[in-house]
Amino acid sequence: MFKRNIQPKKIEEKPKVDGAGEVPVKKGKAPPELLRGFRDILSDEQARWTLVRDRVRALAEAYSFDRIELPILERADLFARTLGKQTDVVEKEMYAFEDPSGDLVAMRPEATASVARAFVNHGMFNLPQPVKLWYEGPMFRHDRPQAGRYRQFHQFGFESLGVPDAIVDAQLILIASRLFRDFGIDITIQINSIGTPESRAAYLTELTSFFRPHRNKLSEDDKRRLQKNPLRILDSKDPAIQEILKDAPQIIDWLDEDSKQHFTKVLEYLDEVEVPYQLNPHLVRGLDYYTRTVFEIWEAGDEGERAQNALGGGGRYDGLVELIGGRPTPACGFAVGIERVVKALADRNVSPEPRPHARIFFAQLGDASRRVGLRLFEEFRMVGIPVAEAFGKNALKAQLEVANKLGVDYTLLLGQKEVLDGTIIIRDMDSGAQEIVDATKIVSIMQRKLSVAEGVNRPKQDVVQ
């Protein structure tokens, strides 16, 4: 139960806090371990992450979505009310706890509820509609960690609030599908309509009675679902249930006239812009706030495996803003898991250029030289030339070895004599040739040299695997 989740389990389990506010560190040799389901994203993965983030930002700007940054911690109740108390996310997976002021808070498991909250808090209904927002950041679910499933993961999402028309749904699906096409990832859009809460009610009665004769085949979890939130049973990954579902009534046949027309229009718009989709009568999405259109983005070829590893998903949530106390505001949106996109890129050996490597190395000999170096770094930064160093090494030989490893074009050598003379030695790393130049002109000299070398002697760059 959600209630139980948000109570701190046992007071004794809380880390004991010293007077100074420091949590005592366990003494011993074992290094601290990462929490299960959490991970570091190291520098060799960053090129792909940057590629994804840059493309998402460019797409958002092209379609005039404005960025919104939302807090990681929200009142726990925001998610319980909107996602649904019977959903796995709220019931089992939420990082919810009492904060030091006694408020029940949760680390956000998703961001749509926060977007709706921000929409209400900041009176965005006064802006021209639709209000189009996008976000990106970490989400937290205490899920069972497995391949492609983490407890801290990242999503980007697009939300369009204020307009009920089917064109909004179609535009969002178009944006998602274009993004994946640009990435070279083949996807299918799985799509369905779950109608309005009213039209759903009749269907749910029908579905419950359809399952009655099959009750003994259901797991305890599914029995509970059938009682509390029968729609969720359509999402079941249990092969026996999937078999039964083949004959189950389909929600699409129970839609009210308006929802039916709305859905037909979404599909027509998608046909118009040639976005292929697959009608999926079992797709309902896990969360309570969805109405009408729901969709998921699956990697092509994954269709047989159900949505275990969907790249993203979304849909219309016409009742959400009102549910949290705002004016009735139709809305639609989607979220995509960045880890899954990055993995799909890695599976295709997409290796974006890493951050530009330094093309100059600064070798220092003695303290006076280091001081000049500090200033020089700043001067090179101003003109956009990255410079590397090895302040941990003092011997020239050792520093030149580092410079060689980094594959820079030039090393600047600065010893005591040069500092006194106001000069610097430039060493061409390919030929080994050295020249002495006026230290005050070093930046412009290097700018010239590097632009001449451009194209002839490209910097050696690591390829991200």
Straight-line distance from the first to the last Cα atom of the chain, in angstroms, rounded to the nearest whole number = 44
Question: Rounded to the nearest 10 degrees, what angle do helices 112-121 and 76-83 cross at?
Answer: 110
Q: Pick from 153, 156, 263, 362 the residue near ligand AMP by CB under 6 A.
A: 153
Which parts of 228-247 interact with ligand AMP (CB under 6 A)? none
Nearer to ligand AMP, 336 or 413 (CB): 336
Q: Pick from 159, 222, 339, 418 the residue near ligand AMP by CB under 6 A.
A: 339
The CB-based long-range contact list for 320-326 (8 Å cut-off, 24+ gap) reads 320/82, 320/112, 320/113, 320/116, 320/289, 321/116, 321/119, 321/120, 321/161, 323/81, 323/82, 323/289, 324/78, 324/81, 324/82, 324/113, 324/116, 324/117, 324/120, 325/120, 326/116, 326/119, 326/120, 326/125
Nearer to ligand AMP, 135 or 211 (CB): 135
**Distance between CA 139 and CA 287 in Å, rounded?**
15
Q: Nearest distance from residue 90's CB to ligand AMP, in Å?
A: 12
Interaction between residue 284 and ligand AMP (CB under 6 A): no
**Distance between CA 144 and CA 125 in Å, rounded?**
39
Which parts of 55-114 interact with ligand AMP (CB under 6 A)? 110
Q: Nearest distance from residue 326's CB to ligand AMP, in Å?
A: 21
Interaction between residue 311 and ligand AMP (CB under 6 A): yes
Q: Pick from 320, 335, 408, 429 the residue near ligand AMP by CB under 6 A.
A: 335
Query: Segment contacting ligand AMP (CB under 6 A): 145-153, 349-357, 431-439, 451-459?
Result: 145-153
Query: Segment contacting ligand AMP (CB under 6 A): 4-12, 308-316, 351-359, 422-430?
Result: 308-316
Q: Nearest distance from residue 310's CB to ligand AMP, in Å?
A: 4
The two structure tokens encoding residue 287:
């969360």
Residues contacting 243, CB < 8 A, separation 6+: none
Which parts of 155-174 interact with ligand AMP (CB under 6 A)? 155
Q: DSSP state, 34?
A: P
Q: Nearest distance from residue 287's CB to ligand AMP, in Å?
A: 7
Distances (CA, A) of 42 to 39, 149, 351: 9, 18, 15
Interaction between residue 176 and ligand AMP (CB under 6 A): no
Query: Segment contacting ligand AMP (CB under 6 A): 142-150, 249-257, 274-282, 370-378?
Result: 142-150
Tokens 């016409």 label which residue? 318
Question: Rounded to the nearest 10 degrees, what angle do helices 257-272 and 166-183 cross at?
Answer: 40
Q: Pick from 310, 324, 363, 429 the residue near ligand AMP by CB under 6 A.
A: 310
Instruction: Please give the residue ranges that form the binding site for ligand AMP (CB under 6 A).
Output: 110, 141, 143, 148-150, 153, 155, 310-313, 335-337, 339-340
